Structures are given as C-alpha cells and as structure tokens.
C-alpha cells in the first residue's frame, strides 16, 4: 500500500507561489540601483507595481533616488536654536503632541518622546530654511511616516524636496490651491460614473471629506502603517495629483454605499469620512493608474469646476522628473566621497578644510546606513525567501 503524500500547509504553498515574483522584483530593484545612471524608470515601476518596495530597508535605498537625493550629502541635524521665535512653533508642538497614535503600538514612552522631539525639529528646520513654505495641519502626519522609516537627517532631505514639489501647493499662505486640487475629484467621477457624480452633486456634499486624505497622503486616516507605506511608495513614484485620483477610486469603490445613503450633505459626508480599513489597495492603485492615463489632468481642466489656476506641483513636475534621470549609483557616490577625503588628507594639516571631520562622518554613515542597510536587507529578505538567491545578487 502506497504511503499517502504529506500535504504542505496552505500557508506554505501560498508562500512558495509568491517566491518567483518577489525574487524577480528584488533582482530588478538591485539592478536598477546599481545601473549608471540609476534606472529611475525601473524603480518607479517597482514602487507602483504589486507589493510596492516590499521592505523598509529597500525604501531607504529607493525613496532618495525617486526624489533625486544624494545620501552622502544630507543636511545637518537641526540646530539648537531652530525653535526660537518661529511663527509656527506652538501649532507644530500641539499637532505633534496629539500624534501619539501615529507611532507603533507598544513603543516605549521615552522612545516615542525622542521621536516627537525630532519631529518638531524636522518640521521647523524645513520651514526655517524655506521661508516661502507655510505649515499646515496634517503636514506632521507625512513627516512622521518618513521619520519612522528613514531617520532624522534623511527625513529632512525628503521633506524639503517634497515640500517644494509634490506638497508645494498645500503650503501656500491660503488654501486656494488646495481647494483647486480637490476640485479635480468631481470631474473624474463624472467621466467614470455619471450617476454617482450627479448623486453627490445633489447631496451638496462637496469635496471637503477628502481633504485629510489628500494633505496627509492618507497617513491620518489609515490605521495600518503597512498600508500607509504602500501608498507612499505609489505617490513618490507618481504625478503629484495621484493622491486625488486615489481619492476618486475610493469613492468609486464605495459607489453602492453612497447611492444607498440619504441624498443629503450630512449623510454622504458622514459615510465618506469613515475610511474603511480593509480596502483592496493593490486593486485601487491599479485603477488609479488607469484613471490617470484615461483622464489626465490636462483633460480635466476643461471642466467648469476647474477654472484656470497655477498649480506649482503640476507646472514643475516635468523638470522635477528630468532632474532624477542622471543620478549616479550609491557605490559611485561613495567612491567620490572617499576620493575627496583622500585628496584632503594628502594636504598639509594647516590647509585641510574644516569639513574634513564631517566628511569622515559622512563616509562612515554612508557605508553603514546606506550600502550596508540595503545590502543586508536584500540578503536577509533573500534568505527568508530563497537562500540560492544570494548568489544571484552578490
């Protein structure tokens, strides 16, 4: 009598089925990062496609490239006087103190308090060095997301870049530009589901229900940090208006609930303000991409609701994308830094720049936190999925 073949648990079988695409994605990301110049288009595809960037260690390598940030030339930590006489100090402190739920459950109080102090300093430092920017409530929800993944100095660099591009219009003295971006929502709905659009128009619900979604990149309304990170991968690799397209696909996904509610502002606003926590994120990301392709912003501006208005994030996006295309891989940047350091060491002590010590610190940080973190992350992930994958990567 033949012995019955032992069946693998369902979870193991499912994990094995997932190995090929994750393995291939890791390899694609590794190759894109090490191309010279860096293959930004492949990194964007990886950030947008299923699973996003997979791990925080990979995000620490890819996010800076998506924003054209040199990890060996990060801004200094905020100075001790960053809080002095700042116009937004009190509001920033109030918002940060109320942000406890944005930190991981179970985090020690003293650890959280250290991060909250860093959060305050990062926000004020970015604002102080960019006086054209105005703080808005919700900005801290974006900053804390990056702080929890990449640390203080990298967060400053990321937020300075985002604040002058993707988030720039939210940081005007008034909310006029923010309202204008929200006004893209209804024309998108009208093109996809006229019945839903007309129902919402009759209810007079407006678009204010989506304000916190838009200006926090959904960080404020999603309770699972993994989902927030997945969306950040998506938004960092996409057009600045993609967050409003994602708002549209959420409303479209819930169209049956909306149409079944009372057709009045209070009922519809209450329904849409309650964000479901079990959304099919990959499906919605794919649908948002398709919507953006079929209904680009240039097409939507013909709507009567979208009167001519200069959106800085849109007008500067082409130049921003172009600026990301000629980046050198981190291995080259690290070698350039080491060469500069060796040249400076060859000089007589009296002629060495005062920045030599700083260069040493940057080199050490770069080797450990940049190359080491990413390499270790890829290695550890590969070990989890397939040990033989190591030989392919290294």
Alpha-carbon separation of residue 284 from 53, 136, 178, 192, 257 (angstroms): 17, 27, 23, 14, 17
Q: How many helices (H) does the chain have, and how many strands (E)?
A: 23, 0
pLDDT surpassing 70 at residue 208: yes
Q: What is the DSSP string of 344-386?
A: HHTS-GGGS-TTHHHHHHHHHHIIIIIIIHHHHHHHHHHHHH-
Question: Taking Cα atoms as reference points, which of 334, 126, 321 lies closest to residue 236?
Answer: 321
- Around Cβ 393, how many Cβ atoms within 10 Å? 16
What would you measure as the largest C-alpha separation in the chain, in angstroms?
88
Average pLDDT rounded to a whole number, residues 365-370 = 42
* Residue 166 structure tokens: 């993707």
For the entire predicted model, the pTM comes to: 0.82
pLDDT surpassing 50 at residue 16: no
State the average pLDDT for the chain: 85
Tell me, what's the pLDDT at 305? 63
The DSSP 8-state label assigned to residue 175 in this structure reads: S
Tokens 């860096």 sit on residue: 38
- Around Cβ 63, how many Cβ atoms within 10 Å? 24
Residues 25-73 have pLDDT tens digits of 999 999 999 999 999 999 999 999 999 999 999 999 999 999 999 999 9
Q: Which residues contact 199 (CB under 8 A, 6 or more apart)?
A: 258, 259, 263
**Weakest-pLDDT range from 128-142, 172-186, 221-235, 347-361:** 347-361
**Weakest-pLDDT range from 7-11, 36-40, 78-82, 93-97:** 7-11
Tell me, what's the pLDDT at 386? 36
Tell me, what's the pLDDT at 12? 42
Average pLDDT rounded to a whole number, residues 179-200 = 96
Q: How far is CA 295 from the centre of its chain?
A: 23
**What percent of the chain is modeled with pLDDT above 90?**
68
pLDDT surpassing 70 at residue 388: no
Region 88-163: CATH code: 1.10.8.1310
The DSSP 8-state label assigned to residue 83 in this structure reads: T
How would residue 17 be classed by pLDDT, with cut points 50, 70 and 90?
low
| Most trustworthy range by pLDDT among 9-23, 257-271, 325-339 | 257-271
Sign of CA dihedral 108, 111, 113, 119: negative
Asked whether the beta carbons of 324 and 66 are under 8 A apart, the reply is yes
Tell me, what's the pLDDT at 347? 66
- Give phi and psi for 377, each to the nearest 5: -65, -45
Q: Does domain 175-309 have CATH number 1.10.1740.10?
A: no
Residues 282-332 have pLDDT tens digits of 999 999 999 999 999 988 887 756 666 788 998 899 899 888 988 989 888
């Amino acid at each position: 009598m033949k012995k019955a073949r032992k069946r693998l648990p369902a979870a193991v079988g499912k994990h094995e089925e997932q190995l090929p695409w994750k393995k291939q994605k890791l390899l694609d990301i590794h190759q894109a990062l090490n191309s010279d110049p860096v293959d930004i288009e492949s990194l964007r595809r990886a950030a947008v496609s299923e699973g996003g960037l997979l791990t925080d260690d990979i995000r620490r390598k890819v996010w800076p490239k998506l924003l054209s940030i040199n990890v060996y030339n990060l801004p200094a930590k905020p100075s001790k006087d960053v809080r002095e006489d700042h116009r937004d100090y009190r509001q920033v402190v109030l918002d940060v103190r109320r942000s406890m739920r944005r930190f991981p459950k179970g985090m020690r109080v003293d650890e959280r308090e250290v991060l909250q102090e860093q959060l305050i300093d990062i926000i004020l430092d970015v604002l102080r060095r960019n006086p054209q920017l105005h703080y808005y409530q919700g900005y801290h929800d974006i900053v804390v997301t990056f702080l929890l993944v990449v640390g203080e100095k990298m967060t400053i660099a990321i937020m300075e870049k985002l604040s002058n591009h993707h988030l720039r219009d939210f940081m005007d003295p008034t909310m006029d530009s923010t309202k204008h971006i929200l006004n893209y929502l209804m024309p998108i709905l009208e093109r996809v589901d006229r019945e839903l659009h007309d129902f919402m128009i009759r209810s007079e619900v407006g678009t204010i229900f989506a304000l916190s979604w838009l200006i926090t990149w959904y960080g404020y309304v999603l309770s699972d940090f993994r989902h927030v990170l997945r969306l950040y991968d998506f938004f960092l690799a996409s057009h600045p208006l993609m967050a409003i397209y994602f708002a549209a696909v959420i409303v479209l996904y819930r169209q049956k609930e909306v149409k079944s509610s009372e057709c009045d502002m209070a009922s519809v606003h209450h329904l849409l303000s309650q964000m479901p926590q079990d959304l099919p994120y990959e499906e919605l990301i794919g649908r948002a991409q398709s919507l953006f392709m079929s209904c680009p912003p240039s097409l939507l501006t013909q709507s009567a609701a979208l009167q001519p208005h200069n959106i800085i994030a849109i007008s500067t996006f082409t130049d921003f994308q172009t600026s990301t295309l000629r980046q050198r891989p981190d291995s080259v940047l690290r070698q350039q830094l080491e060469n500069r350091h060796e040249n400076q060491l060859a000089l007589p002590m009296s002629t060495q720049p005062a920045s030599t010590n700083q260069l040493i610190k940057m080199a050490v940080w770069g080797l450990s936190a940049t190359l080491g973190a990413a390499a270790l992350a890829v290695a550890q992930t590969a070990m989890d999925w397939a040990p033989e994958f190591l030989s392919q990567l290294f």
